[in-house]
Structure 1
Amino acid sequence: MLIGYARVSTQDQDLQLQLDALQGAGCERIFTDKASGSQKDRPGLNDALAFARPGDALCVWKLDRLSRSVKQLVDLSAALERREIDLKSITDGIDTKGAAGRFFFHIMAALAEMERELNRERTLAGLKAAKQAGRVGGRKPKMNNSKTSIALTLLASGTPAKDVADTLGVSVATLYRYCPAASRAVSDASSVES
């Protein structure tokens, strides 16, 4: 069975052009969505995939109706292939039932894998360069040596931890992380009281 899927990005857009093309291609059942292609959870696509059986073909007006990224498209194509469901794009002239269509998707899969590897290599190179330049990733520390010194002085003078944290603009948990001796003193004091 040829199963159609049509999608537009907003409620204001019209599906009719795609519906006409899918009906003209011979789709016996058509599922639709009015949602962004970047959305992972699209009820119409989910229903189309659940409805499809081995030997069926999922037909779209254009490949970009299925996905906004090559990786997402390749992943969907691989899932369809595992389930023995073909993929057909009317405008793009692609049909995985034939050797040329399958070859096209194998090339796309290889390109997507290469893109992932290149992104990984660029990220690692960037981290290495930043480390060599003396920059460390992550958030800036909430407290510096000066704040820690002030906190220790205030805590030693008997100022409650909550007041010290408020004064320094940090949470009590952050205060205790930078002044672990103070947190031990508070827990020791509360154990003596009980």
Structure 2
Amino acid sequence: MKIAYARVSTDKQELHRQLDALEKVGYDKLIQEKFTGTQKKRAGLDTLFNSVRSGDTVIIESISRLGRKTLDILSTVEELKEQGVEVVSLKENLDTSTPTGQAMFQMMAVIAQLERDLTVQRVNEGLASAKARGVKLGRPTMDKQKVKDALGLYDSGRYSVKDIIRITGISQGSLYRKIKEREYKQLLSDIKDRVKETED
């Protein structure tokens, strides 16, 4: 099944341009939404993931319709592919079912890593500069065992975030950050494995 997905960032924007492009190539089902790409909870994407089945193809007018950050887009495409779903982006002429599309997807992973590395570099340079000026820096070092325990409770699926915070003493921000870091590392590892399999 071909599933078209359209999104705009605000209620004031219209979907006409995207819908026109999608109608030209044709689709079996249309999912549309008006939400900002920075929102974590997006009804349209939830509907999309609940609607797709292995063998389906998701068609979008532009890859930016899946999010504003490269890592978010990469994560969404990877999650769809894990379900056996391919992605076609009309503007970028990207089709993840083709060798060229797969190569472009892998390049996105490299760009996402570069963005993260540059961010870390800028933060480290800022910290070094502040330290040189005698500014006291840093938050208390997180207890590695607490982090491990918190992630274990989270993975069990039997505890709410509020319960995990109360039991372990780890902050909500730290918990979410560690979960995101773990997902990111796993995603990059999976991509590297796929690249290696392709080379072999």
Both proteins in one fold, TM over 0.5: yes
The alpha-carbon deviation at position 122 of structure 1 amounts to 2.3
Deviation >3 Å, runs of 4+? none
Contact persistence 1:60–1:89 (CA under 8 A):
yes
Matched, 1:60 2:73: no
In the alignment, which residue of structure 1 is the partner of 2:75? Answer: 75
Shift of 1:138: 6.7
CA drift at 1:132: 2.2
Work out whether 1:95 is the aligned partner of 2:95. yes
> CA RMSD for the aligned pairs?
1.7
Q: Where does structure 2 lack aligned partners over 5 or more consecutive residues?
A: 140-200
Deviates most, 8-17 or 37-46: 8-17
The separation in 2 between residues aligned to 1:82 and 1:120, in whole angstroms, is 29
Confirm or deny that 1:2 pairs with 2:2: yes
Structure 1 unaligned regions, length at least 5: 140-194
For 2:120, the equivalent position in structure 1 comes to 120
> Over residues 19-73 of structure 1, what are the superposed CA-to-partner deviations in whole Å (9 max), with x where a residue is unaligned?
2322221210010101112222111121011111111111111111111111111
Kindly indicate whether the alpha-carbon contact (under 8 Å) linking 1:53 and 1:83 is maintained by their aligned counterparts in 2.
yes
Q: For 1:129 and 1:13, locate their aligned partners in 2 and report how far apart those are by CA, in whole Å.
A: 43
Q: Which residue of 2 aligns with 1:108?
A: 108
Fraction of identical pairs, as percent: 35
Aligned equivalents of 1:122 and 1:10: distance in 2?
31
Q: Which has the larger radius of gyration?
A: 1
Contact 1:32 1:45 in 2 (8 A): no
Counterpart CA distance in 1 for 2:59 and 2:38 is 19
Letter in 1 for 2:20: D
Aligned length: 139
Partner of 1:180: none
- Is contact 1:8-1:14 (8 Å) kept? yes
Letter in 2 for 1:35: F
Q: How is 1:159-170 mapped onto 2 (pairs within 5 angstroms)? A: none
| Structure-2-length-normalised TM-score | 0.64
The aligned counterpart of 1:17 is: 17
| 1:81-127 per-position Cα deviation (integer Å, ceiling 9, x unaligned) | 22221111112211111110110010110111122122112212321
Cα distance in 2, alignment partners of residues 129 and 14 from structure 1: 46
CA distance in 1, matches of 2:121, 2:11: 40
- Give the distance between the partners of 2:113 and 2:80, measured in 1 at CA: 18
Post-superposition offset of 1:13: 2.1
Note the alpha carbon deviations across 1:135-189, whole angstroms, 9 max, x for none: 12379xxxxxxxxxxxxxxxxxxxxxxxxxxxxxxxxxxxxxxxxxxxxxxxxxx
